[in-house]
Amino acid sequence: MSTAVIYVRASTGEQVSSCEQQVRECTEKAKALGLKVSQVYKDQGISGARHDRPEYQRMLAAAGNKEFGTLLLWKQSRLGRDQPEVERAMRRLEFHGLRIVTLDGYDTSASTLKNRKLIRVVKGAMDEAYLDDLRDDTLRGQTDQYLKGFWCGGRPYGYKLVEVTSKTEKDVYGRWKRIGSRLEIDKEQAKIVREIFERYAHGASPQRIAADLNVREVPSPGSAWNRKARRCAGWARSGVWQMLRNPLYSGTYYWKKTQWIKPEGGRRVAQLRKRDEWMSRPAPELAIVKPAIWKLAQVRLSVNNDKPKDKRLQSGGRAVYLLSGLLRCGECGAHFVLDSATHYRCGSVVDGKACDNDIRVRRDVAEEVILRPVVNVLLGKDVIAEMAKEMRGYYAERMTELRAKRATVPAEVEELDRRIARLRDRLKAGDPDLAADELAAIIQKAEAKRAELLADQPEARRMDKVLHALPAAAEQYRQQITKGLQGNATEAGRARIAVRKLLGDQINLLPAKGGKHLVAHLEFQRAALVAGAVGSVGSGGRYRIVSVSH
């Protein structure tokens, strides 16, 4: 009996030609032809326009190795919907001497099939035309939804998709019929969107923004996607770029602005349509980013694209500044933003809104006056020594508390002893649920807990470790910020991460008496220096630093 293989494929939206149906019908055809099926190659949920289908490539490789004699297809379109690619594949299979059989009548072994190449070309053209018709029908349907006020497309980061149902019609299951979708702002994700725009408008690069978000383990836009494999983990620079260019965040909904084009033998790429094809409408309810921040971000994008529209930002558009995104107006709560390449000003004032804090401050002066005392004073030896003294006092209190709890320790130790004994019995007898090495690890952990209850040494060792690392951590922060103050953009980006850890996410700027300069109110995060220490070491200290305004 001759050996045959079956290749099946179904796109995500194809219901009438599922892979299971194709396999069943092709298997019946093989029996009718007296063929033995040795392998089934299945590409589920993959478009026939793609050439890199994994099972398709495996089948072609097996054909090259002459591992089978006949290929069974439900229809020629299962091999693909790109006519040139299908023709190349068919010729390649025939070159290897393979028989190709489809359930709609194509058989390379049929003596009466003289014009099989012509028939293949016709079928391929029809399959490719089917894709074109499908695209046009889909676009018409989506455009109709757009004109009705519904959302068309996927879920952009910062929003939630909400199903819209009919109030008069029900489906076959008795539920209200779905008639469309709309977007709503996701409050938590919207905070990240605003942060991205504000930081970029203030000078941070998309690469640095993505890196900071990854360090903080903020879930990325693709973290919830149902994908077998991702191109990268976490936030990516390209994703930040795309968000910065999305007009939806400013409250404008565009439709038919882009289309997907598939070049010969390659992946689909997005391409702008002609300007007169675009459709748009205001969507103020979907605006996440303030107009002033949006405008500044777009100006900087134009600078980075070598198409400057605002000469004031050309000298500083690419830099990453130490205080970007941290300065807040103490009067109205708005961010201080760059209203030029050299000066910060309250974002409300830049946006034309009412705020009494109209003082401008030079960027380099603000960095020097705010951060130099952090380097020289807050990270100095005297402050670090005082922190160490406070921590020793805390641990002394902690040890007193532990000793006071000695009365409860015997009961806990006895319970651990019983648990360890049970685990050892399971280890000797053999456990059906856990392997021996897993049980041994659990026993070791329980014994370590028992030893910790009977001695204060683990607490003391942790204290010594933290106190020893404290001066080194302070020196590292000192060096990072000092290098950033020297003007190097790369070092400034690294220093900015240190500044954010030490000073938190906000520095309030308030006019001093007389209104000629600003006073910076900040909180020094001492916990950043003692990350990994056991317990709390205090929230930090509050400081006021005066900076000149001009």
Which stretches of 351-408 are DSSP H helices? 363-373, 381-404
- Kindly state the average pLDDT of the residues 107-128: 56
Distance, in Å, from the CA atom of 373 to the CA atom of 478, rounded to the nearest integer, reads 11
Distance, in Å, from the CA atom of 155 to the CA atom of 176, rounded to the nearest integer, reads 23
Residue 348 near residue 334, CB atoms below 8 Å: yes
The band of 192, judged by pLDDT with boundaries at 50, 70 and 90, is very high
> 99-102 and 70-73: which strand pairing?
parallel
Q: Please tell me the pTM assigned to this model.
A: 0.40
Structural domains of the chain, ranges and CATH numbers in brackets: 3-135 (3.40.50.1390), 149-167+177-224+233-318 (3.90.1750.20), 376-547 (no CATH)
Contacts of 481 (CB under 8 A, 6+ apart): 322, 371, 374, 375, 495, 498, 499
The band of 275, judged by pLDDT with boundaries at 50, 70 and 90, is confident
- Kindly state the average pLDDT of the residues 198-225: 84
Burial letters 298-312, b for 16+ CB under 10 A, else e: bbbbbbbeeeeebeb
Residue 285 near residue 320, CB atoms below 8 Å: no
- Kindly state the average pLDDT of the residues 36-56: 86
Would you state the pLDDT for residue 202?
82
The per-residue pLDDT for range 102-111, each reduced to its tens digit, is 887 778 776 4
| 115 or 179, higher pLDDT | 179
Question: Residue 372: exposed, middle, or buried by beta-carbon count in 10 A (0-12, 13-18, 19+)?
Answer: middle
> 518-524 and 507-511: which strand pairing?
antiparallel
Least confident of 169-173, 315-319, 320-324, 493-497: 315-319
Would you state the pLDDT for residue 414?
77
- Where is 100: in which H helix or E strand? strand 99-102
- Kindly state the average pLDDT of the residues 96-105: 84
Would you state the pLDDT for residue 59?
92
pLDDT for residue 309 is more than 80: no
Would you state the pLDDT for residue 466?
64
- Kindly state the average pLDDT of the residues 426-452: 75
